[in-house]
């Protein structure tokens, strides 16, 4: 019996050593980052990024709600490249294997592409600078000074985004190892995407991907055909399926109608039920109760002669009540994330033991291998520091020239505070999967608008949001 036990133990040890050896060989086979960037990958990421940018722009301009599309971007990347490789294989052309690293790279580039559509302010602060918004806010409105607008233009918007977009990336480079290896933060959305991509590139993954692609194509076809059908039966203006009076004409006048748009149905399916219920409650309370009741106070609360679109009329109540609720909730989440972030950092610092913190001997072999791969090809610290300094200097010079309302010393203070805020946001996102960057921007908007005064407050606040 003892002999059998010894043989079983030796067999288990042999299998474990073989598994470790296979993992090491797999790590050695991982191509360098220069080989992971391919022409087909760049083309695929551009196509997916353009498609998702259109979707994100529509959602941000209509609802202001943009769901997380990381997982679907990874699926589309897999579909595009697998289809391409199969086509050229049938044509007798040899292509390089499609790896999970290339899949991740395409997904990351596509997400970065559509993130600029939302985070770049095309549906918020950059669009809010145009003349039409200035006129809708009321030319005579206090603080809405003449000339405090800038019409959208490809040239200045591209230059502005090039100046401000890369700084945040470089600020996070030093935090990469700390967040993922030292603090072992989960980053739920990123982890889910990584699990999905890993699943695609396994022997059973191809079968799973085929089922997902079949479902994707089926519902894509239904959505496309339905959109075509709606277009044939749309009368323009307030007619057709886009303004269907589901609850009657009286409710239709209060904006309670169904537009049969599959985009919003898909967005509702991605978002959690709490978000959907909150939106429904807000719609019922505002358009069903508050706005009709406030409209009856015309002549008492605001002059009857003013048009409804004036900020001193009913629209003013709509805008400022909604903004107050959004900012109140944003401030609550902002303080909550800061509290939990600070609390977790303190716990981690207390648990750190100088004698054992850098000791890797007790770590599992798999963890050591993952850490080795993660840190093997990273941006050097000096490159991040030099790049951050260069882009900061360029921003301090260029932004005040583009927008004289925003003084150069405000830009200096913003870039001094950016690394610490980046750390708080990255740590909070790793814990809760909530990106609070936009709430930081809203706080900056109010601070800079207050500091810049009535004449320059609007432009300085909106540009400082970036």
Average pLDDT over residues 355-368: 55
Q: How far apart are CA 172 and CA 187, in angstroms?
A: 15
Average pLDDT over residues 273-296: 85
Question: Alpha carbon of 368 to those of 113, 359, 362, 365, 374: distances in Å?
Answer: 33, 11, 10, 5, 10
Nearest to 457 by CA among 227, 48, 196, 144: 144
Cβ burial 240-272 (10 Å sphere, 16+ → b, else e):
bbbbeeeeeeeebebebbeebbeebebbbeebe
Residue 227 CB neighbours (<10 A): 13
pLDDT for residue 356 is more than 50: no
Query: Per residue in 96-126, pLDDT tens?
Result: 888 888 999 999 999 989 888 888 888 888 8
- 161, 116 in Cβ contact below 8 A? yes
Q: What angle do CA 326, 150, 163 make, to 5 degrees?
A: 80
11 confidence band (pLDDT: 50, 70, 90): low
pLDDT for residue 278 is more than 70: yes
Of 389 and 366, the one with more pLDDT? 389
**DSSP codes joined into one string, 287-317:** IIIIHHHHHTTBTTTB-TTS-TTSTTTHHHH
180 confidence band (pLDDT: 50, 70, 90): confident
Q: How far apart are CA 289 and CA 433, in angstroms?
A: 34
Query: Per residue in 314-343, pLDDT tens?
Result: 888 887 888 788 777 767 766 777 787 777
Output the pLDDT for position 261: 78
How high does pLDDT run on average in the chain? 78
Of 330 and 25, the one with more pLDDT? 330
């Amino acid at each position: 019996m003892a002999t059998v036990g010894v043989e079983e133990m030796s067999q288990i040890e042999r299998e474990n050593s073989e598994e470790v050896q296979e993992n090491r060989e797999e790590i050695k086979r991982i191509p360098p980052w220069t080989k992971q960037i391919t022409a087909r990958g760049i083309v695929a990421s551009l196509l997916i990024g353009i498609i998702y940018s259109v979707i994100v722009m529509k959602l941000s301009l209509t609802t202001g709600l943009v769901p997380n599309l990381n997982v679907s971007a990874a699926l589309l990347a897999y579909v595009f490249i697998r289809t391409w490789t199969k086509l050229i294989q049938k044509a007798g052309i040899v292509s390089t294997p499609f790896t999970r690293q290339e899949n991740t790279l395409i997904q990351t580039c596509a997400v970065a592409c559509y993130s600029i559509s939302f985070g770049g302010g095309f549906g918020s602060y950059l669009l809010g600078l145009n003349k039409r918004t200035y006129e809708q806010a009321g030319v005579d409105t206090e603080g809405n000074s003449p000339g405090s607008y800038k019409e959208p233009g490809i040239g200045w918007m591209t230059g502005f985004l090039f100046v401000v977009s890369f700084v945040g990336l470089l600020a996070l480079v030093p935090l990469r190892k700390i967040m993922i290896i030292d603090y072992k933060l989960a980053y739920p959305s990123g982890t889910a995407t990584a699990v999905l991509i890993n699943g695609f590139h396994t022997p059973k993954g191809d079968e799973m991907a085929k089922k997902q692609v079949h479902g994707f194509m089926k519902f894509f076809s239904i959505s496309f055909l339905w959109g075509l059908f709606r277009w044939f039966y749309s009368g323009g203006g307030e007619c057709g399926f886009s303004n269907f009076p589901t609850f009657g004409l009286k409710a239709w006048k209060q904006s309670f109608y169904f537009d049969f748009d599959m985009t919003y149905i898909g967005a509702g399916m991605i978002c959690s039920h709490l978000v959907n219920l909150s939106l429904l409650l807000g719609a019922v309370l505002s358009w069903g109760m508050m706005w009709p009741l406030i409209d009856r106070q015309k002549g008492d609360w605001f002059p009857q002669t003013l048009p409804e679109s004036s900020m001193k009329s009913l629209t003013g109540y709509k805008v400022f009540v909604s903004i107050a609720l959004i900012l109140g909730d944003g401030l609550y989440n902002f303080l909550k994330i800061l509290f939990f972030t600070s609390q977790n950092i303190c716990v981690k610092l207390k648990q750190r033991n100088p004698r054992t913190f850098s000791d890797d001997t007790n770590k599992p072999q798999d963890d050591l291998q993952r850490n080795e791969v993660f840190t093997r090809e990273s941006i050097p610290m000096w490159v991040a520091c030099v790049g951050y300094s260069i882009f900061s200097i360029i921003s301090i010079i260029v932004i005040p020239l583009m927008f004289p309302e925003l003084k150069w010393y405000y830009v200096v203070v913003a870039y001094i505070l950016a690394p610490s805020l980046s750390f708080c946001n990255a740590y909070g996102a790793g814990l809760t999967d909530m990106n609070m960057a936009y709430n930081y921007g809203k706080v900056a908007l109010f601070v800079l608008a207050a500091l810049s005064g009535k004449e320059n407050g609007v432009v300085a606040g909106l540009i400082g949001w970036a």
